[in-house]
Structure 1
Amino acid sequence: MSTSVVADGEFAGWTTWAEEPFEHETAGPFYFRVDENGPVAAFRVARKHMNAGGVVHGGCLMTFADFALFAIGHEAMEGGYGVTVAFTAEFIDGALEGERLEARGETLRKGGSLSFVRGLVTGQDGRPVLNFSGTIKKRRKQA
């Protein structure tokens, strides 16, 4: 799957999958890069991400975590296309508007068609917000 590098703003130099309309335009935008600590995904919480209780909506957190599965497992995908076939998450703490959230994790196992990934979403102060794990299946992109 092709990526694009952000040219300016807070996430200049980060990568995104701009061709993913739901993650990039509707739910996100979400970004990722690889730094000295490995793969990391991030986004800045906006009003559209909030629930009526004043914290980030759980569906938004899970969508970001699903994005992070692929950011973390990107190398294991070897540039291919994949889909999430299993996903689990535990909500640990709320996140606030304006906060920058990050997700880091690891690929536990890379198989022929399945990769197993786990990660943790943290707030800008490093506190755990969401624990997640999932399974990615490599697929041929549908025409």
Structure 2
Amino acid sequence: MTERAVAAKLKSDGWSLVEATGFIQLVGPIWERLVDGDYEYALHTQDKHHNRRGLVQGGVLMTFADRTCGMTARYVTGRQTMATIQLDVHFVEAGQIGELLISRPRVVRSTRSLIFIRTEVMVDHRCIAMANGVFKILKGE
């Protein structure tokens, strides 16, 4: 399926593009939608995401998990500036190029200065990575 066809399908399923600059723009496009009050995110893997074995590069999975957890932290707190202070990622299964990655981050705990979030990166009903992140809410923002 071409990237144009994938984009059309995602749009018809209620997804919208996430605006991105810098490094994330190189990784994406990343898509988002609101389902029952919670955000979920999608990344269609392309040839640019492959490792030497032709599978989805682990760094792509880590970046996707970090970005989606961070975006969720911003939505939940209403604060725009945060910093990832810890991200633990467990690779469960290989992702294939051409698959659609889905992340549905959930808040585990939130304090005045930290927010703890977890997500699973899924392809259909297969978990290919799990991540737990801690995000610092920056002062003065």
Under TM normalisation by the shorter chain, which class is it? 0.7 to 0.9
Q: What is the deviation of 1:28?
A: 1.7
**Aligned twin of 1:14:** 16
Letter in 1 for 2:22: P
Partner deviation per Cα, 1:71-129 (whole Å, 9 max, x = no partner) = 33232231421110000010001111111000113101111121000010001x21000
Q: Which runs of 5+ in 2 are unaligned?
A: 1-6
1:49 and 1:56 in contact (8 A); partners too: yes
**Aligned twin of 2:135:** 136
Q: Distance in 1 between matches of 2:135 and 2:39?
A: 16
* Superposition RMSD in Å: 2.1
Aligned to 1:80, the other structure's residue is in SS state coil
The number of aligned residues is 132
Partner deviation per Cα, 1:17-52 (whole Å, 9 max, x = no partner) = 42x3111x2122222222127221111000000101
Identical aligned residues as a percent = 27
TM-score, normalised on structure 1? 0.82
Q: Which runs of 5+ in 1 are unaligned?
A: 1-7
Higher helix share: 2
TM-score, normalised on structure 2? 0.83
Q: Distance in 2 between matches of 1:74 and 1:30?
A: 16
Q: Distance in 1 between matches of 2:104 and 2:137?
A: 21
